Amino acid sequence: MIKLHIVIHEKFEGLGAIKDWISNKGYDVSFSRVYLNEELPTTINHLDGLIVMGGPQSPNTTKEECSYFDAKAEMALIKNFIDHQKMVIGVCLGAQMIGQALGAPVEKSPEPEIGYFPIMKTREGHIHPKLVHFPDNAVVGHWHGDMAGLTPEAKVLAYSEGCPRQIIEYADLVYGLQCHMEFNESCIEGLIENSTEELAVLNSRKYVDSIETLRKENDFDLMNTLLFTFLDTVIKDYKNKKSKRIVSKI
């Protein structure tokens, strides 16, 4: 049984469609809902993977600025999972936390992106086995002003016109998703409700959709399916590598 731990930073920026993926797979899942002051795990021996979700914070946000968000503790947890060859997936803020945990500070994106825009595979992405199911232009969700930093070993697998880093492979089993393929209708409503000032300030930017466009029916099923298949391949890869490690110790 795969055991995952998930860090959620805000009630209005939760799992989205990832909840359906977990339910369908029957994985054993534990949570740190930090907005409820739930603690991070102190031991990870029993866990196979970590998923760190998004939020309005930055890896540089201090506890004085957000009392329930301990960026240093989260990044130490991420590094611990990576060091123990476990799978780590970061979404938006989570992707930025992975980069910074590995020594690559978060950066400003060339353009803020809020809404639904296509991502394109890089040369590395076109040959990457975990992205073979992605079309050349996959319209997915976005809600960010920053972007994840790059380590020397990182490979950018997908980009968009507004942001050159959308899917990043940091190491075996470690991936940052700047985009939001987990979006569903509930996600969008929660973000709109809690981002009125941000949307008003950015409404003239090229890659920021209007509230009306955000609320229009979009093909969530397509972006969700892309994400689910990607996660399935990461899980499969993790299982294979774990089995080989076990065999090598016998």
Question: Residue 216: its pLDDT value, please?
Answer: 87
> Percentage of the chain surpassing pLDDT 70?
98
Name the band, by pLDDT with cuts 50, 70 and 90, for residue 250: low
Cα–Cα distance between 17 and 181 in angstroms, integer?
Answer: 8
Question: Residue 246: its pLDDT value, please?
Answer: 72
Cα–Cα distance between 48 and 28 in angstroms, integer?
Answer: 10
Domains and CATH numbers, the chain: 3-242 (3.40.50.880)
Whether 144 has a pLDDT exceeding 90, the answer reads yes
* Residue pLDDT, tens place only, 65-98: 999 999 999 999 999 999 999 999 999 999 999 9
* Residue pLDDT, tens place only, 105-136: 999 999 999 999 999 999 999 999 999 999 99
Question: Residue 224: its pLDDT value, please?
Answer: 98
| Mean pLDDT score, 151-178 | 98
